[in-house]
Amino acid sequence: MLCRLIAIVAVLGYGRLLMSGPTDAGSSNQHFDVLVLAPETPVVMRIHVEFERGQTLEDNRSQYANEWFGRFDTNSDDQLDDQEAFRIPTFGRFDDLSGELGDEWARLDVAPTDGVISSTEFLMHVNAAMGTGLSISRRQTRASQTVVLYPRLDVDADGQVSTEELTEGLSLLEPFDFDDDESLSAAELQPFPASMQASQAMQMKAEQSPFVVLDRTLNLESVLRRLQSLYGDEVPVDTWRERLTDPHPDVDVTIQFPTRRPKRITVDPVSTSERVTIKGESDRRRLALKLGDLSVDATLRDAQASIEVISSKYLQLQFRYADSDGDKHLNPQEYDKLNVEGAPFSAVDVDQDGQISNEEIASFIEQRALLSRCRLEMTIENDTTSLFETLDQDEDRRLSPREFQRGVDPMLALDRNGNGKLSESELVTKYRLEFAVTRPAEFDDLSGGGAMAAMAAEARLPILRPVTQGPEWFRRMDRNQDGDVTWREFLGPRTAFDQFDSDNNGFIDVAEAESSP
C-alpha cells in the first residue's frame, strides 16, 4: 500500500498537478492532457498535434475564423458593424447561411461591449460552435460489448461496480426486462438498432472511461470520486482538487499530420516518467506503450472525406467542362454537373447571387480542407471480455438471477487493485487508440462520418436452450429456459417451493426438482 501511495503522489508531483476547476492550464487546442486511470496508478498523457510548419489545431481554427471574418467584413475595417454582423450564422456553420444571428448578434459583443464584433469575439463564437478540440469515442467489436452495464449498475457513479451493486443487479435492471422472464438479454440491455449503432461509436463519458480529458468540460466532482475510489483516500480530496489544475505529463505524444509527407506518431523518451514504458515494437505510425500497468497501442487514421482531397487543378478542369455557356460562372444546373459530394449549391454560393465562380468553389474546398483539421478524434477499442460476458457463464447472451448471484467470485478474480470493486480498465489487457483529425462533430454534415454499420440483430438475441432434464413439471415451469425455476415461475404454493429449494437460494434446480419433498 505504501509503494502504491508513493507512486500516486509521484504522479501528482509536489507542485500543482491536475485540476481545481475549469482553467486554461490543462488541455487547450495547443495540446491535450488525458488522465489515464490505470488500475494501479494514474498517468497523464499529453498529446501534441502538428500540421505543416508546426501549425496546431488552434492555429487552424483561428485561420478558419479569420477567413470567414474577412468575408463578412465587407468594408475591410477589421470589425463587423450591425449590418455585417447580422449575417453571422447562429451556430457557426458558415456553409449553411440559413440560420443567421440577425439582431441577436449583439450577444457576441462582450470583449469589450462596444457595438461591433471584433475578430477575437468572432473567434470565440467559432470555437464555441466547434466544441472541444479533442473528442473520445469508443468502437465495439462484438454485440455483447455494446451492452450498457457499468453506468446502470454503478449506483454511486464512482466508475466501478462493487459486489453489493452486482448482487443487486437484477433488481436494479428490472425495468429493462421487457419480456418479464427474469433474465436480461443483450437485446434488452441495448434494445434498439439505432442505439446499437450509436453505442459502437459512443461518446465516452467520464464515469465510464479510464481515459479522461482534462479540459473545461470536465466533471471535476465525478473525477475526484473516481480517484479516491480507485486509489484510496490516502491522498486528501483537497489535494487531488488542487493538483488537477496544472497537469504534469508522464508522457508527451506528438502526432504529425503533414499534407505531403507521411503521418507520424512519436513520443519523447527524455521527458517520459518511470510510470511509462515505450515498447520496442513502436514505429512512426504506431506507438506501443505501457501506461502504469495498462498496455496501449496508438495508431493513426486518415479521416478526410472526398471533398477535402479534391485538387484545385482537377476542379478547374471540371469547372470549364460544366460551364456550358462559357460565362465563367455556374448556375445551379451547370453546378450539378460537378457532382461534388457534400457541397450543396447554397453553401458554395457565398455572396448569394445565384451563380458560382471558380474562386468561390476553390475557396469552399480550401475552407473544407481547413475545417477538416480542426478537431482531434481519439477512438478507443479493446477486444477483451466485457462485464456482461464475464457474468454470462453459460454463454447464452443473457444474465439469469443465478448468474448475478454467482457473479461475485468471477468479478473479484479480475479485481487487479484489490479494492473489492471492478473498473473497466481491470477487464482490459490492451487498449487500442486510433487518432485522426477531422471536422468538429457539429460541422459534420457528410453522410457516414465514420459511423459503423449496425451489427446483426440476431447477435444480440439470447440463445434459448430447451431444458431436457428434470421432471416434466420442472421443464414446463422453467419459462425462460435457464435451468432454474424461481418463485415467480413456480405454479404451486410457497410452502411447496420452499420444500424443493433445499439450499434456500431462491432457485429450484434440476437436482432439487428430482428429489421428492
User: What's phi and psi for 54, nearest 5 deg?
Assistant: 75, 15
The cell for 93 is: 456553420
> Does residue 493 belong to any structural domain of this protein?
yes
Same domain, 353 and 277: no
Cross-strand bridge partners of residue 291: 276, 294
Task: Return the beta strands (E) in 396-504 as ranges.
Answer: 398-399, 421-423, 430-438, 485-486
Task: Return the beta strands (E) in 260-363 as ranges.
Answer: 264-267, 276-278, 286-291, 294-300, 329-330, 356-357
Same domain, 198 and 287: yes
Give Cβ neighbours of residue 327 (< 8 Å, ≥ 6 apart). Answer: none
Question: Parallel, antiparallel, or unpaired: how do β-strands 485-486 and 294-300 relate?
Answer: unpaired
Same domain, 365 and 378: no
CA 220, 221, 224, 226 torsion: positive or negative? negative
> Does residue 87 belong to any structural domain of this protein?
no
- State what percent of residues in the chain have pLDDT above 90: 20
Question: Parallel, antiparallel, or unpaired: how do β-strands 251-256 and 42-50 relate?
Answer: parallel
Same domain, 206 and 293: yes
Q: Helix (H) and strand (E) counts for the chain?
A: 22, 19
Give Cβ neighbours of residue 409 (< 8 Å, ≥ 6 apart). Answer: none
Cross-strand bridge partners of residue 161: 422
What is the Rg, in whole angstroms, of the alpha carbon atoms belonging to the chain?
28
The cell for 80 is: 463587423
Tell me the pLDDT tens digit for each residue of 321-333.
Answer: 888 888 889 999 9
What pLDDT score does 113 carry? 92
Asked whether the beta carbons of 454 and 196 are under 8 A apart, the reply is yes
Same domain, 151 and 242: yes
Tell me the pLDDT tens digit for each residue of 205-235.
Answer: 444 678 999 988 888 888 888 888 888 888 8
Q: How many CB atoms lie within 10 A of CB 215?
A: 20
Confidence band, pLDDT 50/70/90 cuts, at residue 434: very high
Confidence band, pLDDT 50/70/90 cuts, at residue 81: very high
Residue 456 has pLDDT above 50, yes or no: no
Same domain, 293 and 319: no
> Does residue 180 belong to any structural domain of this protein?
yes
Q: How far is CA 333 from CA 328, 359, 371, 457, in A?
A: 14, 18, 27, 43
What pLDDT score does 140 carry? 64
- State what percent of residues in the chain have pLDDT above 70: 78
Range of the domain at 509: 472-514
Per the structure, how many domains does the chain have?
A: 3
Asked whether the beta carbons of 272 and 252 are under 8 A apart, the reply is yes
Same domain, 341 and 422: no
Same domain, 273 and 209: yes
Please give the Cα distance from 251 to 279 (Å, whole number). Answer: 13
